[in-house]
């Protein structure tokens, strides 16, 4: 449990599993099993991730893990396999709990990894079957953890009725929120009325939707992809890892605010993960200035009001401006996350966040380290 001398409750609000390669073959219902997500051999000793005969990720699967390896070496070695860089703590409950103990962390919010890669908008039933299999495995993964691992439900939005049914099932199983891809789905933004039953369910449960980075190899997501053409072999790790989340998540939460979703659901919670937290104050000021200039038929109040009441952010452990973000967004709306075990994460994340918070008040330190996460996710 927590090693904080002050007795603070500590929560890693952004961590991941690395799904076992045979998860979908074991957990999919029999009628979908031939269309399972699998890892298959690729050319020249590489691996590829496929699902239903489509390539979801053509190579570089070792880069989905890598927290315990030299990142540049992993990226430079295409023959490294998915499991070569997957620590046991990424898919074994006992090992994850041992890691939390080593870190002095009491609980961890758990997101998918392969789940951020696949896209199946043309077949909503298969997409939901894939998600259902992941959610069932995730429920089994966290079950022995005695409440220390908090799962987030994978809910594709291609069919709103199926999405509502699966979210309701997952909340009944004890999931702590819903993964939301930061993009329009079939031309519908998250504020579209078709999705209102989902937001009503989360509002009633007092749990958040979690805007989290996604990766698509079959199509462009805009933003960072317009600067480096991966089809031509171009990739800049500093640019891609540094700005990928920023380009996806800030427009997504800004559109949700500007569309007035939080007027319809005033107690709905949004958690923005993997863009850091320092952007929040700037975006609040920027949107407020335009709101004052142009007005809006969609919002009843300034955008910053919704951010302060409905939006939470996960700061990177080494951010220098966490105290300022607490001032601007609100000290009860700031969390931290390690992004473990992804290649751009750090095993030193818990030490980094404690160092980053060394100069803030004890009250604020306790909030950011874990009390805010406890309140947001309904933790013990």
Distances (CA, A) of 319 to 139, 261, 324, 334, 355: 32, 30, 10, 12, 10
So what's the pLDDT on residue 28?
A: 98
pLDDT for 9 equals 97
Structure tokens at 174: 């004890």
Q: Which distant-in-sequence residues (6+ apart) come within 8 Å of 156 by Cβ?
A: 120, 124, 127, 128, 130, 131, 162, 163, 185
**pLDDT given for residue 232 in this prediction:** 72
User: Would you give the DSSP letter of residue 53?
Assistant: T
Q: Is the peptide bond before 51 cis (omega within 30 degrees of 0)?
A: no
- Residue bearing tokens 């090992």: 95
Phi/psi of residue 19, each to 5°? -60, 135
Angle, helix 279-294 to helix 322-329, in steps of 10 degrees:
30
Residue 233 region by backbone torsions, left for phi larger than 0, else alpha for psi between -120 and 50, else beta: left
What is the pLDDT at residue 3?
45
CA angle 367-154-130, nearest 5°?
Answer: 160
The structure's pTM equals: 0.95
CA atoms of 170 and 109, how far apart (whole Å): 15
Strand 54-57 to strand 47-51: parallel, antiparallel, or no bridges (unpaired)?
Answer: antiparallel
Coil/strand/helix, residue 345: coil
Of 65, 96, 106, nearest in space to 82 by CA = 65
Mean pLDDT per segment of 10 residues, for the chain of length 380 residues?
A: 65 97 97 97 95 94 93 91 96 98 98 93 95 98 97 97 98 98 94 98 98 83 70 78 86 98 98 96 98 96 98 96 97 98 94 96 98 91
Token pair 């818990």 is found at: 350
Token pair in block for residue 115:
């789940």
Residue 40: other Cβ atoms inside 10 A: 10
- Greatest distance between any 2 Cα atoms in the chain: 58
Correct CATH for 11-20+88-377 of 3.30.9.10, 3.10.20.30, 2.60.120.380, 3.20.20.140: 3.20.20.140
Look at residue 353 in the predicted model and tell me its pLDDT.
97
From the DSSP assignment, how many helices (H) and strands (E) are in the chain? 14, 12
Token code pair at residue 205: 């449960």
Alpha carbon distances (Å) from 213 to 49, 179, 194, 251, 277: 18, 10, 23, 12, 14
Q: CA neighbours within 13 Å on the CB side: how many for 218?
A: 13
Residues 6+ apart with CB under 8 A from 131: 115, 153, 154, 155, 156, 166
Under 8 Å between Cβ of 227 and 239: yes
Domains of the chain, by residue range, sit at 11-20+88-377
Residue 5 has a pLDDT of 43
Task: Give me the phi and psi of 139, to 5 degrees please.
Answer: -60, -40
User: Which run of H or E residues covers position 39?
Assistant: strand 37-41
């Amino acid at each position: 449990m927590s090693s904080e001398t002050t007795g603070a409750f500590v929560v890693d609000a952004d961590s991941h599993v690395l799904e076992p390669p045979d998860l979908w073959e074991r957990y999919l219902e029999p009628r979908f099993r031939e269309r399972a997500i699998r890892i298959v051999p690729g050319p020249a000793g590489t691996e590829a991730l496929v699902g239903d005969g489509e390539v979801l990720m053509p190579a570089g699967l070792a880069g989905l893990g890598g927290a315990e390896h030299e990142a540049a070496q992993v990226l430079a070695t295409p023959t490294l396999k998915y499991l070569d860089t997957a620590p046991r703590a990424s898919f074994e409950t006992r090992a994850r709990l041992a890691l939390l103990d080593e870190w002095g962390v009491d609980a961890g919010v758990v997101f998918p990894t392969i789940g951020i890669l696949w896209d199946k908008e043309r077949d909503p039933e298969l997409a939901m079957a894939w998600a259902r299999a992941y959610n069932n495995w995730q429920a089994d993964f966290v079950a022995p953890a005695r409440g220390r691992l908090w799962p987030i439900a994978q809910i594709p939005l291609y069919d709103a009725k199926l999405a509502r049914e699966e979210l309701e099932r997952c909340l009944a199983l004890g999931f702590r929120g819903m993964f939301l891809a930061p993009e329009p789905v079939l031309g519908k933004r998250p504020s579209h009325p078709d999705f209102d039953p989902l937001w009503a369910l989360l509002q009633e449960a007092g749990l958040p939707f979690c805007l989290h980075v996604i990766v698509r190899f079959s199509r462009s997501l805009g933003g960072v992809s317009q600067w480096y053409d991966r089809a031509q072999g171009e990739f800049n790790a500093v640019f891609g890892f540094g700005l990928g989340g920023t380009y996806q998540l800030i427009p997504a939460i800004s559109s949700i605010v500007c569309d007035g979703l939080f007027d319809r659901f005033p107690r709905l919670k949004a958690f923005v993960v993997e863009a850091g937290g320092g952007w929040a104050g700037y975006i609040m000021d920027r949107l407020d200035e335009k709101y004052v200039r142009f007005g809006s038929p969609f919002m009843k109040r300034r955008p910053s009001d919704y951010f302060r009441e409905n939006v939470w952010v996960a700061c990177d452990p080494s951010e220098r401006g966490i105290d300022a973000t607490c001032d601007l967004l609100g000290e009860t709306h700031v969390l931290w996350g390690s992004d473990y075990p992804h290649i751009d994460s750090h095993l030193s994340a818990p030490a980094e966040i404690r160092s980053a918070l060394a100069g803030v008040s004890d009250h604020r330190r306790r909030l950011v380290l874990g009390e805010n996460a406890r309140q947001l996710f309904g933790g013990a």
